[in-house]
């Protein structure tokens, strides 16, 4: 996928990298690795429209407790003060 050459935020060079994202929906969280254009100067991440739609679909699944297609990797806990 070809991304813009210059970062729209700072003007730095954009290169394609694999990045890890954390998505939350309701009380659920999902981790995934995707390709993104990343600014070598400020770190701004640029995603394709398809990747953004995928993020939105996953967040909706998490919000509606539709996690059958997701692989569990552990448990999360909240520290109560």
Tell whether pTM > 0.85: no
Handedness of CA 71, 22, 12, 48 (dihedral sign): positive
Q: Kindly report, residue by residue over 10-28, the tens digit of the pLDDT.
A: 999 999 999 999 999 998 9
At residue 1, the pLDDT reads: 59
Contact criterion met (CB below 8 Å) for 28 and 69:
no
Enter the DSSP assignment of 80. Answer: -
Which of 60, 73, 76, 68 has the alpha carbon at shortest distance from 20?
A: 73
């Amino acid at each position: 996928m070809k991304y813009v050459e210059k970062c729209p935020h700072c003007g730095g060079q954009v290169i394609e990298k694999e990045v890890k994202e954390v998505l939350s929906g309701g009380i659920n969280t999902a981790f995934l690795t995707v390709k993104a254009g990343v600014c070598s100067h400020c770190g701004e991440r640029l995603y394709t429209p398809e990747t953004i739609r995928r993020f939105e679909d996953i967040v909706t699944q998490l919000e509606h407790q539709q996690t059958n297609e997701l692989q569990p990797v552990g448990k999360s806990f909240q520290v109560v003060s």
